[in-house]
Amino acid sequence: MTDLSELQRKHTIAVLVDNEPGVLARVIGLFSGRGYNIESLTVAEVDVANNRSRITVVTSGNEMIIEQIKAQLDRLVPVHSVVDLTEEGPSVERELALIKVVGAAEERIESLRIADIFRARAVDSTLESFVFEVTGNSGKINAFIDLMKPLGLTEISRTGVVAIARGETSM
Amino acid sequence: MSDGEQAGMTLSGAAIIVQALVDQGVEVIFGYPGGAVLPIYDALFAQNNIRHILVRQEGGAVHAAEGYARSTGRPGVVLVTSGPGATNAVTGLTDALMDSIPVVCLTGQVATHMIGNDAFQEADTVGITRPCTKHNYLVKDTNDLGRVMHEAFYVATHGRPGPVVVDLPKDVCIDQGHYEKPDLDNIQHKTYHPRVDGEEDRIAEAVELIARARQPIFYTGGGLINSGPEACAALVEFVNMTGHPITSTLMGLGAFPASDHKFLGMLGMHGTYEANNAMHDCDVMICLAARFDDRVTGRLDAFSPNSKKIHVDIDPSSINKNVRADLAIVGDVGRVLQRMIECWRERGHQPDEAASKAWWTRIQQWRSRDCLSFEQGNEIIKPQYAIQRLYELTKDRDVYITTEVGQHQMWAAQFYRFEEPNRWMTSGGLGTMGYGLPAAVGVQIGHPESLVIDIAGEASFMMNIQELSTARQQGLPLKIFILNNQWMGMVRQWQELLHGSRYSESYVDALPDFIKLADSFGATGLVVDKPGDLDDAIKTMIDTDGLVIVDVRVAKEENCFPMVPSGAAHNEMILSQDQANGERPSVTDDGLALV
């Protein structure tokens, strides 16, 4: 019998925090101090009037670890709420990447063609290069990057995952 | 300071800090001045409401505040300067975090415009203390001071208690700002709302589980002490209603009277044979405000394998951290116990006499091993005997015990029997050598008329020995009872049992003459090395006014048993030196890696 508790699973957790100095350091310090993984982490203010920021963190661990991560996050004093988007039903996850491809001739045309398939936009162009903007879930962006590699990919900038639950409920 | 009660006034930052402390009902703070906190010391100089206890090193200030907090139930307050003042406080803050002790620590900071410039005595205090506090603040505007000060007390004392640092730049203390006393009974924190009432259906389910149990045990922790005397009274009531056995962690000693026959003593690495075996064999474990620490559980995969575990804790992150709970109740343990009692009554539960009898018969068999027994000859004082006599000769007094960390601490936990909460102050989670003397200072400040004893080892005592000067300055009649074996005893014990008797750096050479040391601090020094003289020495210690240091020369190579070796299970205890010398469960490399 497989011990379910040992299965490593990726979870996307949204954390609504008071936007006070050091709050991000608190969250990151918690992960490093207790040895949890951070696969990606994004943060931005989402409610200027109420001074609130939203942190989206993608992490992995077995069931007990994920439960610990949520409990540890929740007991940080400036944290309003913690929602495990992976556990609590369907959610939309998006990431944005800017990808620079340098090349000429056939490869250049091929990169444009693939960009079109991925609905990536060229947001900067020279005769030798493109910068593509692509959004989607992490898998789609990974696939796009893989295809660009042989076509002259030189630089990648990714935002990390942002996510929100589907349906009418809000955190 | 009656003007402090007027709504809204303009004061200097330093005056706001002092006024906020007064409004919080703070009577005493422990601290050490320095450049960055001079404005606050100036404001302290101008008032008579708050007594300042000058320590000799900032680490001592935090331990003293911990001792004060643990013995009085009120938060301890610390005031230290920037840079080294704050970094010296870090050990105490970590200690308070691990043991959930409410402490508010005010640290000085360089002026806001100098922060980040590597100024003199600058340290990134909020950065350094972030992982060793429950929460911390850097105040950058004098107008925020009042709110932050009161929030700090709220956070330190609500939910699972802990240390809170407020970092105070010098200009913020000098500038004028607005202060208004808040309605302290109705402070609403923006984000921090710990749950105090347990879920009713879970409480009912727990009561059913306890009522149907055939071999249950209560496993209780320091959260009961933190929850308060009412929680401990509720514990006694509930345990008496059920008639079930009870064991306690190091931190929880005193929550349930040790003299009650239902009390099996402490559990864990140096716990009793009966407590550990009952934990291993129980069918329902009722864990109340304890956290399944590795010193308690031993090998996790062999920890109480067949029990249903009920876990009550105010901190959700304590639940399922090390051991999976079958039934978790998040809430204040006192309130949950009160509801359990009511629920037990409403449902008319009665203890199952037959099952209880059979269970107690088994426990009695374990108990009859008399696992704490030792042989006291005529020549050398056994450390266990020293604690036993200390207990017998002080138990009828108004006594508070602090300890340092090591063998003497475990013997104190085994042989000193506590009947009430808040009488026992020891560094449990962090295991901080040097805790006991400054903690005793804090206890004595809170209880000037009581008998306060620091049970110490000679090595630990040396770690914060400078606080003798604090005790002398304050005229504190502390009694320091040193079990002197000239070794770092617990280190030596582990080296003997786990590292082939290679005693690497554990012998404490060049000890001071404790009599002369006492003399130089205006204290009374006593030395005793014969078992027959021990009682007289203890009586002299009690009857001597003022600070007393007793150098009890004990057996040098006595080991602390019983012992659950690293990586072993509860039912694989070493009970005696004979067993340690002979056949015993071998320690694996995995076990050796455990601390």
Is the pLDDT assigned to residue A152 strictly greater than 60?
yes
pLDDT tens digit sequence for B368-398: 999 999 999 999 999 999 999 999 999 999 9
ipTM score over 0.85, yes or no = yes
Which chain A residues are within 8 Å of B134, Cβ to Cβ? 77
CATH of span A92-163: 3.30.70.1150
Q: Residue B46: in which H helix or E strand, if any?
A: none
Type of residue numbered A126: T
Pairing of strands B308-313, B327-330: parallel
> Can you tell me the distance from the alpha carbon of B582 to that of B580, in angstroms, rounded to the nearest whole number?
6
Q: Do B191 and A21 touch (CB under 8 A)?
A: no
Q: What is the mean pLDDT of residues B496-510?
A: 92
Distance of CA B334 to the CA centre of its chain: 19
CA angle at residue B71 from B70 to B72, to 5 degrees?
100
Length of chain A measured in residues: 171
Q: Which residue's structure tokens are 């990431």?
A: A95
Distance from CA of A170 to the nearest CA of B (A): 17
* Residues 6+ away with beta carbon under 8 Å from A66: A9, A11, A59, A84, A87
Query: Which residues on chain B are in Cβ contact (under 8 Å) with A73?
Result: none
Whether residue A29 lies within 8 A of chain B, CB to CB, comes out as yes
Phi, psi for B121 (deg, rounded to 5): 55, 35
- Picking from B134, B135, B316, the nearest residue to A74 by CB comes out as B316
Coil, strand or helix at B366: helix
pLDDT digits (tens, 9 = 90+) for B526-574: 999 999 999 999 999 999 999 999 999 999 999 999 999 888 888 889 9
Average pLDDT over residues A106-135: 96
**Residue percentage of chain B with pLDDT more than 70:** 98
Residue in chain A lying closest to B135 (CA)? A77
pLDDT for the residue numbered B583:
60
Residues of chain A neighbouring B189 (CB-CB closer than 8 A): 77
- Is-contact B455 B424, C-beta < 8 A? no
Average pLDDT over residues A56-78: 96
Q: How far apart are CA B14 and CA B142, in angstroms?
A: 9
How far, in whole angstroms, is CA B472 from its chain's centroid?
Answer: 24
The rounded mean pLDDT for chain B is 95
Cβ B109 vs Cβ B35: under 8 Å: no
Using CA atoms, how far residue A73 sits from A8, A56, B251, in Å, is 19, 12, 26
Domain ranges in chain A are: 4-88, 92-163
Using a CB-CB distance cutoff of 8 angstroms, which residues of chain B are in contact with residue A71? 315-317, 319
Among the residue ranges B122-126, B237-241, B377-381, B590-594, the one predicted with the least confidence is B590-594
Note whether A68 contacts B316, CB cutoff 8 Å. Answer: no
A67 in contact with B at a CB cutoff of 8 Å? Answer: yes
A18 interfaces chain B, CB cutoff of 8 Å: yes
Q: Among B9, B27, B114, B121, which one carries the catalytic annotation?
A: B121
Instruction: Tell me which DSSP letter residue B185 carries.
Output: G
Chain B touched by A52 (CB under 8 Å): no
CA–CA distance, B319 with B100 (Å, rounded to integer)? 16
Say whether pLDDT at B249 is over 90: yes
Q: Is the per-residue pLDDT at B585 higher than 90?
A: no
Residue B267's pLDDT is 97
Quick one: fold of A4-88? Alpha-Beta Plaits (3.30.70)
Q: Over the stretch B1-23, which tens digit does the pLDDT of each residue have? A: 444 455 689 999 999 999 999 99
